[in-house]
């Protein structure tokens, strides 16, 4: 019997218990899934960073921890978490992110906001073809690659930027400081899908925003700290950046008095770009626990030094 502890807020248990049990059965695993195992009897932990568990020290038998979240910035620095940590790379979450990103890129590309706001005017303005609209995706992890590939398939010339060199079919890949400049200066639309680390904070700041072409648009479904808010507001106010669609913020919910709410060049969405889906994420966790039992390498293992 494999003892698995579910450590998340109670509403998560209500939605995950049945899909997890089904996924364990499909994987051929004999699992006792509970929220109240004795810590020293636990083999694996399924974990959400906003849940009740913060001290992993008593879990002396635990082989690995499996996060329900894609981001691990809230837990990766926990000194008591010494066992392997796997982040969530969920096919359902990825599909949701691809749909949200492509939807907003197309919204900008086709100038849909203008059409909606000018329903009483007949002013034909034919958009360019996708092949004439360069898009840059900052971050080439699982989500970034999926979005970049989807946009490329729609005909957009896509540049992908990452910390380390990558080769991705159909994508112009850039990396490092010089590559970031190249990725920004060629972009009419920028999508941010970087992790939240000390190295990525304020990736878009006064200097890098100035490197974008005048009239560029920004889409951030990644992490709030990737953008220097004051610098973005300045760039919007002076007209260098035409518009920003923001789904994530440094403080959530976004405070009611934040300038983004009332800014005419900002679209706020309430962190809805992508959500972990219970059925597909349960299958990912079951596969990783199967791997743990078989002494096979884990999927989506977090690199503690990199922070993701």
Q: Is 31 helix (H, G, I), strand (E, B) or coil?
A: strand
Nearest to 219 by CA among 127, 139, 126, 116: 139
Tens of pLDDT, residue by residue over 86-103, are 999 999 999 999 999 999
Q: Is 190 exposed, middle or buried (0-12, 13-18, 19+ CB in 10 A)?
A: buried
CA-based radius of gyration for the chain? 21
Tens of pLDDT, residue by residue over 110-156, are 999 998 988 888 988 899 999 999 999 999 999 999 999 999 999 99
Q: Is 85 exposed, middle or buried (0-12, 13-18, 19+ CB in 10 A)?
A: buried
| Contact assessment for residue 115 and residue 89, using Cβ atoms and an 8 Å cutoff | no
Tens of pLDDT, residue by residue over 151-171, are 999 999 999 999 999 999 999
Tokens 């691809």: give the residue. Answer: 98
Q: Is 66 a catalytic residue?
A: no
Tokens 């009332």: give the residue. Answer: 262
At the second CATH level, the architecture of 91-268 is: 3-Layer(aba) Sandwich (3.40)
Instruction: Dump strand ranges (E) for the chain.
Output: 2-7, 31-34, 44-47, 64-67, 85-86, 135-138, 158-162, 172-175, 189-192, 216-220, 241-246, 266-268
- Counting residues of the chain whose pLDDT is more than 70, the rounded percentage is 100
Tens of pLDDT, residue by residue over 190-202, are 999 999 999 999 9
| Contact assessment for residue 145 and residue 138, using Cβ atoms and an 8 Å cutoff | no
The tokens describing 107, both together, are 């919204």
Q: What is the dihedral of CA 12, 70, 106, 154, to 10 degrees?
A: -120
Quick one: residue 92, left, alpha or beta (phi over 0 = left, psi -120 to 50 = alpha)? alpha
Annotated catalytic residue: which of 133, 217, 223, 243?
223
Domain ranges of the chain: 2-90+276-293, 91-268
Q: pTM score > 0.75 for this model? A: yes
Q: Is 62 helix (H, G, I), strand (E, B) or coil?
A: coil
Q: What is the DSSP string of 169-206?
A: TTSEEEEHHHHHHHHHHT-SEEEE----STTTTTSB-H
Do β-strands 44-47 and 85-86 pair in parallel, antiparallel, or remain unpaired?
A: unpaired
| Contact assessment for residue 128 and residue 135, using Cβ atoms and an 8 Å cutoff | no
Q: Is 10 exposed, middle or buried (0-12, 13-18, 19+ CB in 10 A)?
A: exposed
Residue 38 predicted with pLDDT over 90: yes
User: Which of the listed CATH numbers 3.40.50.720, 3.40.50.1980, 3.10.310.10, 3.40.50.880 matches domain 2-90+276-293?
Assistant: 3.40.50.720
The CA distance from 29 to 23, in Å, is 9
Q: Is 271 a catalytic residue?
A: yes
Q: What is the mean pLDDT of residues 235-264?
A: 98
The tokens describing 241, both together, are 């950046």
Q: What b/e string do you get for 105-141 counting C-beta neighbours within 10 Å, with b at 16 or more?
A: bbbbbeeeeeeeeeeeeeeeeeeeebeebbbbbbbbb
Query: Could you check whether 2-90+276-293 and 91-268 share the same CATH topology?
Result: yes
| pLDDT on residue 118 | 87
Annotated catalytic residue: which of 271, 277, 291, 304?
271
| pLDDT on residue 174 | 98
């Amino acid at each position: 019997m494999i003892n698995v502890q579910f450590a998340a807020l109670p509403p998560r248990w209500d939605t995950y218990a049945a899909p997890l049990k089904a996924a364990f059965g499909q994987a051929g695993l004999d699992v006792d899934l509970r929220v109240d195992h004795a810590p020293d009897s636990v083999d694996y932990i399924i974990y959400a960073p906003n849940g009740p568990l913060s001290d992993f020290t008593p879990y002396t038998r635990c082989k690995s921890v499996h996060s329900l979240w894609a981001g691990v910035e809230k837990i990766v620095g926990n000194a008591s978490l010494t066992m392997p940590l796997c982040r969530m790379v969920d096919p359902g979450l990825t599909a949701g992110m691809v749909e949200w990103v492509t939807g907003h890129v197309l919204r900008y590309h086709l100038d849909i906001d203008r059409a909606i706001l000018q329903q009483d005017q007949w002013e034909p303005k034919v958009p360019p073809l996708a092949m004439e609209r360069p898009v840059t995706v900052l971050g080439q992890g699982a989500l970034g690659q999926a979005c970049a590939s989807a946009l490329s398939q729609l005909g957009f010339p896509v540049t992908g930027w990452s910390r380390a060199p990558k080769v991705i079919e159909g994508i112009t890949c850039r990396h490092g400081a010089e590559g970031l400049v190249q990725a920004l200066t060629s972009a009419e639309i920028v999508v941010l899908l970087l992790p939240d680390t000390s190295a990525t904070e304020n990736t878009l700041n006064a200097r890098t925003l100035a490197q974008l072409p005048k009239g560029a648009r920004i889409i951030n479904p990644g992490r709030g700290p990737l953008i220097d808010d004051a610098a973005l507001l300045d760039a919007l106010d002076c007209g260098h950046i035409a518009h920003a669609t923001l789904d994530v913020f440094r403080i959530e919910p976004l405070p009611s008095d934040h300038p983004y709410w009332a800014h005419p060049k900002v679209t706020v969405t309430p962190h809805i770009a992508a959500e972990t889906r219970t059925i597909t994420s349960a299958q990912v966790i079951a596969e990783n626990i199967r791997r743990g039992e078989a002494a096979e390498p884990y999927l989506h293992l977090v690199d503690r030094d990199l922070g993701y």
